[in-house]
Structure formats: C-alpha cells, structure tokens
A = this chain, B = another copy of it.
Amino acid sequence: MSNNDLPKGESASLIRQPLLSSSQRSIVNSTSQVAIVGANVCPIESLDYEIFENEFFKQDWRSRGVVQIFQYICMKWLLCLMIGVIVGFIGFCNNLAVENLAGIKFVITSNMMLQRRFLLAFVIFFASNLILTLFACIITAFIAPTAAGSGISEVKAYLNGVDAPGIFTVPTLFVKVEIDVRSTLAGPWLARSSLFIRLSIIGSITAVSSSLLVGKAGPMVHTGACVASLLGQGGSKRYGITWRWLRFFKNDRDRRDLIVCGSAAGIAAAFRAPVGGVLFALEEMASWWRTSLLWRAFFTTATVAIFLRAMIDVCLSGKCGLFGKGGLIMFDAYSASISYHLADVPLVFILAIIGGLLGSLFNFMTNKVLRMYNVINEKGIICKLLLACLISIFTSCILFGLPLFASCRPCPPDAVEPCPTIGRSGIYKKFQCPPHYYNGLASLIFNTNDDAIKNLFSMNTDNEFEFSSMLIFFIICLSLSILSCGIVAPVGMFVPIIVTGASYGRMVGILVGKRSNLCHGLYAVLGAASLLGGSMRTTVSLCVIMLELTNNLLLLPLIMMVLLVSKSVANVFNANIYDLIMKAKGLPYLETHAEPYMRQLTVGDVVTGPLQVFNGIERVRNIMFILRTTTHNGFPVIDEPPGLEAPVLFGIILRDHLITLLKKKTFLPTPAANNYDVLRQFSSDDFAKKGSTERLKIEDIHLTEEEMGMYIDLHPFTNASPYTVVETMSLAKALILFREVGLRHLLVIPKIPGFTQLSFVHGDCRYRPW
C-alpha cells in the first residue's frame, strides 16, 4: 500500500478500483464529491496545525467560558515568562561554565608556557581538549543522539510540521533510572525532556570548552525549543490544577507557538540579542507566523534579556570566577562614534561579494563533510567517537603548533592593557615569545571564541595583527569549523562563522591599509556579516544580531548592504546551511516558494491512489485493517445519505483519533448513528496531543473477534470542515494554501462529479521530491 513510487512531476493515472472488498461501499463509478486526502507515508510523525472542527472539539474547546479563556491567556504569557527565565538561566550557566572551563585550561597552559615547559603545556592542552570532546560525544552518542549537531535544523523542521522522533526527548531505553527517580514528580516524558536539556547543555559546554571551533547558538536554540516543548507538555495528572491549566496547550498549534518563543529565546540567550532572536525565529525558523505570536516571542526574549542583565549585575562583583566583566558576548567595542563615507562603499561591496562566495563555499564544504561523516557515523558509535577524537587531536595539534612558527611582535608602547597579557583574555598573548613581545596568532587562538571575536572586532588595534598570522588564522578557522560541525556533540556553527568571517574581514582591512577610512575592527565586523549572510542567507535578523553584538547603529547601512550582497551572491550557488543540513539529515521541508514547474502541474496530476476512506459509521474490522496496512495520518470520511445515489464527503479523521476511539471501545452493535452520548465518555485529555513516546500505536490495540464485528460512529470525531481544493488547481496555488494556513492534509475534490477519482495528495514525506 506504499505510495512512494510516484515519479517526480509525473502525472498519476486515475485509478479506478474498489478500496476494500467490504461490500457496503461501491464508490467505483458512483458520483459526486469524492474526497482525496493527504496522508503521511513515512515514519516521521507529522504535526497537524489545522483547527480540527468536530463535534467533540465544539463541545470541549468551543464551549470554554470566560474563566477558561482567561486561564488560557494567562498561561500563555506565564509559559513565555518561564521559558524566558529558564532559557536565560541556562544561557548564563552555559557562558559561565564555558568561560571558566576554557579559562582554567588557557591559564594553566599559559603558565606552563611562561615556565617554558612547552611539552607539558601541549600535553595539558591536548589532553584536556580530548577529554572534554570525548565526554561531550559520549553523552551525546549514548544518551541523546538527536542532540548532535546544530539543533536549528531540527527545530526548523519541527516548526514546518515534521516531528522527527525524539528531537526533544531522550530515547526510552537509556533513561530508565532517570525516570524511576523522577516519576514521582512528573510524567516520564517530562523527565526525559529535562534530561535531554541537561545533556544537551553539558555536551555543548564541554564541546565549546574543548577548543573545537564550534558554537553554542545552535544548541541554545535547540535547548530553548526543548524547554518550551517541555513546559507546554509539562504537568502531571497527579496535580489536578497544573493539568487543568495546561490542558489547552496539549495540541500541536499551541506547542508550535511555544517552541517558536523558545527558539527565539535561545538565540537571545546565546548572543544577548533579544530583537535579533525574535527576528531570527521569524525569518529563518518559523513557517507560520502571526502578530500575537510576534509579541509573545518578543516578551520571551525581553525576559531573557532582563534576566541576563540581572545575572550580569551579580557577576560584576566578581563572584563568577573567570567570567568576564564584559557580560556575555556583547562586544560593545564600538561605543565611540565611527565615521565612513560613500567612498568606502565600493570596497565594502567587493568584500561582501567575496564574503558571499566564501559563505557558499563554506556551505558546500560543510555539506560534503557532513555527508562523509554520515557514512562514518552509520558504522556505529565507536566510529563516531573515533572521528571526534581524531578531530580533537588534529585541532589541538594545529592550534598549538602553528603559533610556534608565528613571529613575535614587540609590545606597542601605548598598549591599553598590560603586554604581554598574563591571564585569561587579552590581545597580547606571550606564548613562546621573549618578554615584552607577544604572539599575535596565539592571542587569537588561546582565547575562547568569544574573546577572539572581541579582539578581532576591537577598534584602535590596527597594528596588533600582521597579515600572515591573520591569513593562517583564517585558514585554520575555515577548515576547523567545517571539520568540527559534524561530530556527535551539540555544536553550533554561528560562532565559528563569525570568527572566520571576522578574520577574513581583518585580512581585507590589513590588505587595504591606509587606502580606506574604515578601521580594521570595522572590517572584521563587515567580514563576519558577509560570511554569515553568505552561509545563513537571512538578512534582517542577522543585521539586528550584528548590531546587537556590536552595539553601534551607525554601522547599520553598511551591514545591511553587506548582508544583501553576500546573500544574493551565495544564493546563486547553493541553499542556506540549515536547509543543507536538513537535507543531509533526511528531514523533509516544504519550501514557501513554489518552484516554476509547480505552476505547470495541477494537484490532480500529483495525486495517486488507492484512496483509503471510511464510512461515517464504519465496521471496527475495517478500521483496524486500514490502520494496520497503511501509514497514513488522515482518512476521509464519507456518507451515503438516503435518497442520494452517490457518497458524500463528510470530513477527515486522524489516525491518532481513530486509535483513541479503538482504545476506548465505545462500539455500536449495529450500524446506527448514536445520538452523541458517546461524547460524554471522552475527555479532552483523550484527544490531547501526547508526548512522542507516550503515543499509542495501532499494534497496541487488541480486540476480540466480537468487537471486530461491531461499528463505530465516526461523525462526532471527524473534522467536518476540512480544507478542500479542486483537482484543477495548480500545485503552486495549492502550495500557498498549504504553507500559509499551515496544513498537513488537503482534500482534493474532482472537478466534475460523476467521474470518480480515487487518489490522494501525499503528506509531509513527499514534499521534498516535489
């Protein structure tokens, strides 16, 4: 019954054949509205954002009183507040841990270097990196494999309607102990999710601290989405009130909204960029948007920003160990007024074009490397870990070895900070150099990425870095960030791209020299913007994030121009990095934009059969049979009213709801409509969206032979007002409907009744080949 064999773009022939051998149906050659339903034929679970208007829904949701609506609205904002505070706290802890872990490592290494014990320094550096990397990879590979990589692609796929198994939870097998411990407090799903968050965060912290060129933004987004999903799902049945208040959120629509807020909070916490976070969620991640969601996302990120501010207030008194005073990665290096003129624009234009080319090259290489790694990773966990070790070893050697060959530069007499820097951060790292000399390359390498960016972005440091070390650093960054992004640890790519881009910009700045009014730090900012634009292909959100990072709005016109140019250039070559990763991971994604060939095809061309439909009052046996033999998530329900010769479309019913009905066993002995008393036997909780691991499968339903012969009245549970299109509608137009309204199922109706067409539009899994 698989329907995957429809070739791309080829017209499916209209299949005329009875669906089932059951005698009560004779659709063939009968007339009128025959429905065609979209269904999902792949293991990835699809989410349904449509308002499911059935009798049950009307009785439950639509009958909400003022108090319940008030509860619902309050809960929405309260949940956003909680997401903001929790994500803010996680983001702060993340930074704190990274700064301290990596800081201690660098301090020890530096001290060894000062004592000229190079080998020991190298061993410490090497071993600590390896241990941290291995730790990150082991917890990821063994316990939370879906946390690997930048989580942005997974979240983007989720918001597009594809719930890949376990992207917000840990697989059941490995968390038995955890569940036992926590099950008194909340349901197992809750425990699994919160474990997932902690693992993801610990993995991210250790990976970032291990000198791999990886970022924390992606994992933070994933974590934020996870927190949101957890909170929306949260609350146990044991605590009546919590459950009462949260029951309205147990559906795909509300959870999607919360996850949008959570992912915006993730970016906001990673970069302390609240507006940028909202815009990133809007521009890059969410497939569906409305103004009220914008406000809630904004509220969430505002909470994050205020919470971070409070935490930094606490840290300013020096209680946070090596955590710097600058406050997260806000590089407010540009409080001074900068000036630029129209004469600088052509140069910046060229920088942006090359940045766009580099961005698309980065995407191309990353894609290749990811696909290669995929092959390696499929060979088992040992291979994954070996790969990670290999990369860690390579990284350590490169990072430690190359600065040894870099030339030492004398400390500038008017340096703003002590030179060489003995401590955590700073522009002037002594490394192997004699006193009063510093090693420019080491200054960049033996710092956290955040500090390296800060150094690169800083003003009045035009003479601190020489071209050769900048070039080496750029090549190191480019290659290591490409190599590191595919390891089995929660690693992002935002920060590596910024570092690489900043070094590229500095390089351009050094090359241009005095021919331009712009300082090298500004070139670094523009370089970072160009590489980000070339790789991520968003404009407004990146622009705002760059502004929030540098805290100078005077840069705005230049950054806007750079982003637009680099994005346009890179678009010629390939897709944005998250789409490439999604493809590499096999996550389906429905693009907003219709491809040209979709304008030539009608929906009638792509539907195929056979169609599985149910009668309004259907025999249990048939339902069991169809559910077992197909993987569709939705089925049309038809009626044969007396006096009409042809069946009539009644609506669409979902697999989940059918399974719930079968589980309750409210069957009828005869095929007569019940008078909706059956509704009282169900509570909204029965049809509420469940956590992915709690979900019942059709295989779990066991019925007696007697029950199999009985009937179910599907009418009260059928969505009686599904969205329908006529078969002559072009695919492009149907796509707009699909995307804009956030549909998962679309009924295709034949133009001319009396001409039976049994066919269906493919569900989520089929969108990619379109």
A residues apposed to B, CB below 8 Å: 32-33, 51, 53, 62, 69, 274-275, 278-279, 283, 289-292, 294-295, 298-299, 301-302, 305-306, 309-310, 313, 332, 335-337, 341-342, 345, 539-540, 543-544, 547-548, 551-554, 556-557, 560-561, 564, 567, 592-593, 596, 599-600, 602, 641, 643-644, 646, 648, 720-726, 728-730, 732-733, 736-737, 740-741, 749, 751-754
Contact = CB atoms under 8 A, between A and B. Distances in A.
B560 A302 contact: yes
B740 A305 contact: no
Contacts of A741: 736-737, 740-741
A757 to B, nearest CB: 14
A547 B553 contact: yes
Nearest to A288: B740
A561 to B, nearest CB: 6
B309 A275 contact: no
A734 to B, nearest CB: 8
How many subunits of this chain does the assembly comprise? 2
B733 A728 contact: no
A306 B544 contact: no
Contacts of A749: 724
B644 A754 contact: yes
A219 to B, nearest CB: 24
Contacts of A313: 341-342
A643 B278 contact: no
A753 B33 CA distance: 9
16 contacts: A32-B32, A33-B33, A51-B730, A53-B730, A69-B596, A274-B557, A279-B279, A291-B592, A298-B564, A305-B556, A335-B337, A544-B544, A551-B552, A643-B754, A646-B753, A737-B737
A310 B540 contact: no
Contacts of A289: 289
A543 B298 contact: yes
Given A33-B753, A295-B567, 17 more contacts: A33-B33, A53-B730, A274-B556, A275-B544, A278-B540, A289-B289, A292-B592, A295-B539, A306-B561, A313-B341, A553-B553, A602-B721, A644-B754, A721-B728, A721-B733, A724-B724, A724-B725
A274 B725 contact: no
Contact of A298 (B32, B275, B560): B560
B551 A554 contact: yes
Cβ-closest 7 pairs across A and B: A721-B729, A302-B560, A305-B557, A740-B740, A306-B557, A551-B553, A720-B728
A685 B305 CA distance: 53
A160 to B, nearest CB: 13
A305 B335 CA distance: 21
Contacts of A728: 53, 720-721
A111 to B, nearest CB: 33
Contact of A592 (B62, B290, B646): B290
A291 B592 CA distance: 8
Nearest to A726: B721
A724 B644 CA distance: 22
Contacts of A544: 275, 544
A477 B24 CA distance: 77
Contacts of A335: 335-337
Contacts of A62: 599-600
Contacts of A556: 274-275, 305, 548
Contacts of A310: 342
